[in-house]
Amino acid sequence: MAANAIDQTRRMLSLVTYLRERPGAHVADVARAFGITEDELISDLDVLPMCGTSFRGGDLLDIDTDGERIWWRNPDASGESTAEPLRLAADEATALLVAARAVATLPGLRESDRDALLRATAKLEAAAGEAAGASSRLSVTFESEGGVFADVDRAIAERRRLWLRYYSPARDELTEREVDPIRLFAVGHTYMEGWCHLSEARRTFRLDRVAEIRLLDERAEPPAIEPRDLSEGLVQPSAEDPEVVVEVGPGGRWVAEYYPHDSAEELADGGLRITLRTPDPGSLRRLALRLGREGRIVAPAELADSARSAAREALAGYGEQV
Amino acid sequence: MAIAKAERLMNLALCLLGTRRPLSKRELRGSIEAYMEAGNDESFNRMFERDKDDLRELGLVIETVENLEGETGYLARRDSNRLPPVSLDAEEAAALGLAAKVWQQARLAGAASGALQKLRAGGMPEADNPYEGQSSAIEPRIPVHEAAFEPLMLACRDRRPVVFDYRKSTAARPETRQVEPWALECWRGHWYLAGFDRDRGAERVFRLSRITGKVRSRAAKYTAEVPDVVTVRETVASWAGESADRSALIRLRAGAGYPLRAKATAVREGADGWDELEIPYGHGLDAWLVEFGPDVVVVGPADLRADVVDRLRAVAGA
């Protein structure tokens, strides 16, 4: 898999510097140190013997592996050019510095981790020199709910069960539940993934919707399940879920930005016809109410009806008859 | 079979780094197999220019020197290309390892691992798995779903003006905008661009998900000065109604509307099954309140009450 020639070249340049100091290095150790699979490393090792400073007269890198260990038989062939790692490129400095600064702002981070990160960031800025400049043009803020975060973090570390009062916007209600926490992650907001004993299923909880939290003495024993793949997006409707069709005018186009959907057709007036799936269409009543003049529920009819009757009931509270 | 690009780039890098005197294109072509096989001069020249750009992209400083015969030579001097010594302890290395994992965008994820690999080659200690032991359990991720992100990131980096079609949240049609991009910021999982809007002659903030079509960059200079500090978040927060300057009084059914209670500055419990809440009144409060349907009644101010009733009528009458 030569997915990206630039990434591979950059990696091979670091690899030769690394291998120079470590004759007979183990494939498994080198792959781990470089954060790559052994297969990726082997494919680099297949390319390296074709590389060298051949203008001097055929000095190719004599790098050899038996699949377990790696030997470089002529480390002097490339002269001193591979003796030291290369300076950081602007993108490299940006990628690492922006990420480090963002993580350092997480309110729930342990102080020792934050200190280590801040020290590392300062050293990195110094080493990157000019290349660090462009990193100020990118920034990331994580939303994090400090107090709740610290309790969840502690529960995970001590493997303890949690008791929560948790807000569900779909039902506008608070429910009490016991959860065995599995992990904490931040994608925009901060979330806890855990095994929920109320629903007897894996659930993801947004920390800013936790109204109350307590550590219990029971040991957390979540079943062994694969953690969610965070690159997929947090809401993953299933194909069996009922379909909801919403038509919005130009002022309601934001719906397509906030709700994962199957399709969004452009309408002649600048609006959209959005088709999405949800296990519980009733949970979209809030959306139907919020849309006002900016859109309407086309299907299912029960959802449109429930929004209409909720609006009528609400108007009665203002002394209005509809 | 054609020689893999990574092999060609690697050879060019080793030649340029290994030489003490500038090498001409002719010499490089004579010593790198992929260039010998490149066919005619034109395709070789194109390939060579692209390869130099790619190597510069990954940080190589390549100098162009003219020799006495007027021939152009190239070299990558060691002292301008080496990473200065960085001494990181195991804790610091683990912290950077965690940070390098946050990008969910291919280019930056690749760049972050590339940086770690350079540090590793420079002797950075090999940390244990950061998710084990004493580290925090948090896994931060920076989402990047917007196609406009990468071209805008490069334009911010290289300070190049851009042109793109942008649809404001309430506009039916996109409009073409000419912008001098300053900075990108991710807030609550969404990316925003701050820059100087040439047609409006003022600073503007754009939400990347509202950019339609391609971002084109222009080779031109900025006409407006770039401020030292760019504050995207304050602008976005005011769109989101977080800079409330007034207060509203509402009646809320007992037990309902927890998020309203969490935002309230005062709560008075009533005996009739309804509570009275004072909540900050900023942009967008009317839309939020109607979400709670018959569980909320606005007492005042009158304009908020009228807006909510108007919205409810639109839904009820449909």
Q: Where are the domains of chain B?
A: 5-81, 87-142, 156-239, 246-317
pTM for this entry: 0.80
Q: Tell if the CB–CB gap between A127 and B309 is shorter than 8 Å.
A: no
Give the pLDDT of residue A64: 87
Task: Calculate mean pLDDT across residues A16-30.
Answer: 92
ipTM over 0.90: no
Task: Calculate mean pLDDT across residues A67-96.
Answer: 86
Task: Calculate mean pLDDT across residues A214-234.
Answer: 81
pLDDT(A55) > 80: no
Report residue A187's pLDDT band, with 50, 70 and 90 as the boundaries.
confident
Please identify among residues 277-296 of chain A the ones whose CB lies closer than 8 Å to any CB of chain B: 285-293, 296
**CATH class belonging to B5-81:** mainly alpha
Between strands A243-248 and A160-168, the pairing is unpaired
Are B230 and B181 in contact, with CB atoms under 8 Å apart?
no
Report residue B18's pLDDT band, with 50, 70 and 90 as the boundaries.
confident
Helical (H) or strand (E) element with A72: strand A69-72
Q: Could you report the per-residue pLDDT of B31-87, keeping only the tens digit for each?
A: 888 888 888 889 899 999 999 999 998 889 999 998 777 889 999 998 889 999 999
User: How far is residue A89's CA from residue B92's CA, in Å, rounded to a whole number?
Assistant: 21
Residue A71's φ and ψ, nearest 5 degrees, are: -125, 140
Report residue B275's pLDDT band, with 50, 70 and 90 as the boundaries.
very high
Q: Which residues of A touch B189 (CB under 8 A)?
A: 187-189
Give the pLDDT of residue A167: 93
User: How far is residue B61's CA from residue A13's CA, in Å, rounded to a whole number?
Assistant: 14
Residue B282: CB atoms within 10 A of its CB come to 18
For residue B189, is it left (φ>0), alpha (ψ between -120 and 50) or beta? Answer: left
Q: Could you report the per-residue pLDDT of A122-152, keeping only the tens digit for each?
A: 999 999 988 888 888 998 887 766 678 888 8
Q: Could you report the per-residue pLDDT of B131-173, keeping only the tens digit for each?
A: 444 445 677 888 888 899 999 999 999 999 999 999 887 777 8
Domain B156-239 has CATH 2.30.30: yes
The position carrying tokens 């760019």 is B230
Residue B306: CB atoms within 10 A of its CB come to 13
Q: Strands (DSSP E) along A144-253, which ranges?
A: 160-168, 173-187, 189-196, 201-206, 210-219, 243-248
Distance from CA of B259 to the nearest CA of A (A): 8
User: How far is residue A275's CA from residue B130's CA, in Å, rounded to a whole number?
Assistant: 41
Interface test with B, best of A11, A41, A47, A51 (most B CBs within 10 A): A51
pLDDT(A58) > 70: no
Q: Could you report the per-residue pLDDT of B293-313, keeping only the tens digit for each?
A: 999 999 989 999 999 999 999
Q: Tell if the CB–CB gap between B54 and A6 is shorter than 8 Å.
A: yes
| For helices B41-57 and A5-20, angle between their N-to-C axes, nearest 10 degrees | 60
Q: Strands (DSSP E) along B76-174, which ranges?
A: 138-141, 162-166
Q: Mean pLDDT over all residues of chain A?
A: 87
Give the pLDDT of residue B133: 43
User: How far is residue A12's CA from residue A82's CA, in Å, rounded to a whole number?
Assistant: 11
pLDDT(B219) > 80: yes
Give the pLDDT of residue A275: 94
pLDDT(A268) > 70: yes
User: How far is residue A161's CA from residue B265's CA, in Å, rounded to a whole number?
Assistant: 33
pLDDT(B2) > 70: no
Supply B19's token pair. Answer: 């030489």
Give the pLDDT of residue A1: 35
User: How far is residue B221's CA from residue B282's CA, in Å, rounded to a whole number?
Assistant: 39
Instruction: Provide the β-strand partners of residue B266.
Output: B278
| DSSP at B221 | -
Task: Calculate mean pLDDT across residues A91-100.
Answer: 93
Q: Tell if the CB–CB gap between B9 and A253 is shorter than 8 Å.
A: no
